[in-house]
Amino acid sequence: QVQLVQSGAEVKKPGASVKVSCKASGYTFTSYGISWVRQAPGQGLEWMGWISAYNGYTNYAQKLQGRVTMTTDTSTSTAYMELRSLRSDDTAVYYCARDGLGVFGFYWGQGTLVTVSS
Amino acid sequence: EIVLTQSPATLSLSPGERATLSCGASQSVSSSYLAWYQQKPGLAPRLLIYDASSRATGIPDRFSGSGSGTDFTLTISRLEPEDFAVYYCQQYGSSGTFGQGTRLEIK
């Protein structure tokens, strides 16, 4: 069965960077893309961007351009999302999600809480 | 960027009633690339509907989606206790923006 297992919670200081991982299993990793979605406490979902696990093509949300980098490691079937210059309003649960039938959010990881606090 | 606006923000209904949730887009969503998700507290979202009207695997047939262009609707024909949650629409025709969500609560 398809599983996306994310790395554990992180606490970072303002200005630092965070890198969240998403290890995939149960399918051919390079056949699908991975999206990243975040959710601030008590707020809605925000799409951050998408990466093709086939060729590394990325499509980032305009708001995060220049601060976010999404990568994949096909040898370990793992996707990564790095966010730089962290601010307090980056505090959120970060989810990875795999495509299916053209939809970004067919399967979801369990989420990773990133807290930005001085 | 396509902006999605969901209404109402909160919907209060009783089990057994019919729920109608709306999602409006600021410009036409290409090829009806519109999905609906359900999210319960502390859990990841769950895909319900894709391509505006196709049910995802394992989703009960009381959930249905409709619409095209800029106006989309999620209908839950008869509410079950487990249906009370937050619902989001997402367009994936041009990047992947979400609506702000509709909270479906027990009346």
Identify the band that residue B94 occupies on the pLDDT scale cut at 50, 70 and 90. confident
Q: Which residue has the higher pLDDT, B94 or A94?
A: A94
Q: What is the mean pLDDT of residues B47-58?
A: 96
Judging contacts by C-beta atoms under 8 Å, the chain B residues touching residue A35 are: 96
Alpha carbon distances (Å) from B44 to A41, B15, B66, B77, B103: 13, 24, 24, 24, 15
Judging contacts by C-beta atoms under 8 Å, the chain B residues touching residue A110 are: 44
pLDDT for the residue numbered B55? 96
Q: What is the mean pLDDT of residues B36-57?
A: 96
pLDDT for the residue numbered B56? 95
Q: Report the alpha-carbon distance of residue A52 to residue B88 in Å, rounded.
A: 24
pLDDT for the residue numbered A86? 98
Contact B99 A109 (CB under 8 A): no
Question: 3-state SS of B27-79?
Answer: CCCHHHCEEEEEECCCCCCEEEEECCCEECCCCCCCEEEEEECCEEEEEECCC
Residues A99-109 pLDDT 10s: 988 899 999 99
Could you tell me if A108 lies within 8 Å of chain B, comparing CB atoms? yes
Among residues of chain B, what percentage have pLDDT more than 70?
100
Is residue B31's pLDDT more than 90?
no
Preceding amide of B8 cis, omega within 30: yes
Residues A60-72 pLDDT 10s: 999 999 999 999 9
In 3D space, the residue among B33, B20, B30 whose CA is nearest the CA of residue B79 turns out to be: B20
Q: Are A71 and A51 in contact (CB under 8 A)?
A: yes
Q: What is the mean pLDDT of residues A114-118?
A: 97
pLDDT for the residue numbered B23? 98
Q: What is the mean pLDDT of residues B4-13?
A: 98
Indicate the residue type of B65.
Answer: G
Q: Considering only alpha carbons, which residue of chain B is nearest residue A104?
A: B92
Name the residue among A45, A50, A102 with its Cβ closest to that of B33.
Answer: A102
Residues A65-99 pLDDT 10s: 999 999 999 999 999 999 999 999 999 999 999 99
Q: Are A32 and A22 in contact (CB under 8 A)?
A: no
Give the up-direction half-sphere exposure of residue B96: CA atoms within 13 A in the CB hemisphere. Answer: 26
Name the residue among A59, A100, A105 with its Cβ closest to that of B90.
Answer: A105
Q: What is the mean pLDDT of residues B32-59?
A: 96
For the CA atoms of B50, B55, B59, B60, the dihedral, rounded to the nearest 10 degrees, stands at 140
Is residue B32's pLDDT more than 90?
no
Interface of A with B in 48-107 (CB under 8 A): 50, 59, 61-62, 95, 97, 100-106
Identify the band that residue B1 occupies on the pLDDT scale cut at 50, 70 and 90. confident
Identify the band that residue B7 occupies on the pLDDT scale cut at 50, 70 and 90. very high
